[in-house]
Chain A
Amino acid sequence: MNFDFSDDQKQLRDQARKFLAEKCSSKAVRAVLDGQSPYDRELWRGLAEMGFLGVAIPEEFGGAGAGHLELCVIAEEMGRALAPVPFSSTVYLAAEALMLAGSEAQKRKWLPRIASGEAIGTLALFEGTGNPSPKAVKLDASNGVLNGVKKPVADGAIADFVIVAARSAATGRDSDISLFIADTKAGGVDAKALTNLDPTRGQAELVFANCKAEPLGAPGEGWAIIAQVLDRAAVLVAFEQVGGADRALEMGRDYALDRIAFGRPIGSFQAVKHMLADMYVSATLARSNCYYGAWALSTNAPELPEAAASARISATQAFQHCAKNNIQVHGGMGFTWEFDCHMYYRRANALALGLGSLSYWEDQLIDRMRKRNAA
Chain B
Amino acid sequence: MNFDDTPEEAAFRSQARAWIAANAPKEYEAELRASSLGRTALKNANLLEVAKAWQKKKADAGWACLHWPKEYGGRGASPIERVIWQQEEGPFSKLSAVFIIGHGMCGPTMMAYASEEHKRHYLPPLASGEKIWCQLFSEPAGGSDVAGLRTRAEKRGDAWVINGQKIWTSGAHYSDYGILLTRTDPDVPKHKGLTMFFLDMKSKGVEIRPIKQASGHSDFNEVYFTDVVIPDSQRLGAVNDGWNVALTTLMNERMSIGAGVATGFPELFEFCSNLMLDDRPAIEDRNVRAKLANWAVKASGLKYTSFRAISALSKGERPGPENSIGKLVAASMVQDVATFALDLQGAAGVLSGPEAELAGKFQAMLLRAPGTRVEGGTDEIMRNIIAERVLGLPGDIRVDKDLPFNQIPTRGRN
Contact = CB atoms under 8 A, between A and B. Distances in A.
Interface residues of A, number: 50
A313 B294 contact: yes
B293 A281 contact: no
Contacts of B388: 273
A257 to B, nearest CB: 7
Contact of A5 (B1, B290, B312): B1
Interface string A350-375: 00000000010111011001100100
Interface stretch (A77-85, A169-177, A288-296): A288-296
B15 to A, nearest CB: 18
B310 A288 contact: no
Interface string B260-286: 000000000100010000000001001
Contact of B325 (A1, A267, A284, A313): A284
A366 B268 CA distance: 13
Nearest to A289: B301
A280 B391 contact: yes
Contact of A313 (B2, B293, B311, B394): B293
Contacts of B380: 270, 274
Do most interface residues of chain A lie in helix, strand or loop, or is the interface mixed? helix
Q: Which of B283, B297, B325 has the most CB of A within 10 A?
A: B297
Given A1-B3, A284-B322, A298-B1, A267 B304 contact: no
A310 B311 CA distance: 21
B245 to A, nearest CB: 27
A277 B308 CA distance: 20
Interface size class of B (residues with CB under 8 A): 35 or more
A263 to B, nearest CB: 10
Given A273-B383, A298-B1, A314-B301, A267 B394 contact: yes
A259 to B, nearest CB: 12
B386 interface: yes
B300 interface: yes
B1 A295 contact: yes
Contacts of B391: 249, 253, 273, 276-277, 280
Interface in A264-322: 264-265, 267-268, 270, 272-274, 276-278, 280-281, 284-289, 291-292, 294-295, 298-299, 309-310, 313-314, 317
B4 interface: yes
A317 B295 CA distance: 12
Nearest to A280: B386
Contacts of B294: 313, 317, 362
Contacts of B2: 1-3, 295
B297 A253 contact: no
B387 A291 contact: no
Given A3-B3, A274-B387, A292-B304, A310 B297 contact: yes
A4 B292 contact: no
A272 to B, nearest CB: 8
Given A2-B1, A280-B325, A310-B297, A253 B289 contact: no
Contacts of A114: none
Interface in B364-414: 380, 382-384, 386-388, 390-397
Interface of A: 1-6, 69, 249, 253, 256-257, 264-265, 267-268, 270, 272-274, 276-278, 280-281, 284-289, 291-292, 294-295, 298-299, 309-310, 313-314, 317, 359, 361-363, 365-366, 369-370, 373
Given A285-B329, A292-B307, 10 more contacts: A1-B310, A2-B315, A3-B1, A3-B310, A5-B1, A267-B387, A274-B380, A276-B391, A280-B387, A291-B308
10 A-B pairs with the lowest CB-CB distances in the bound complex, closest first = A285-B301, A362-B293, A273-B387, A288-B304, A277-B383, A277-B386, A268-B394, A314-B297, A288-B305, A267-B393
20 contacts: A2-B2, A2-B311, A264-B394, A267-B393, A273-B391, A276-B387, A276-B391, A277-B386, A281-B386, A284-B305, A285-B301, A285-B305, A285-B329, A288-B300, A289-B300, A292-B304, A295-B2, A299-B1, A362-B293, A365-B296
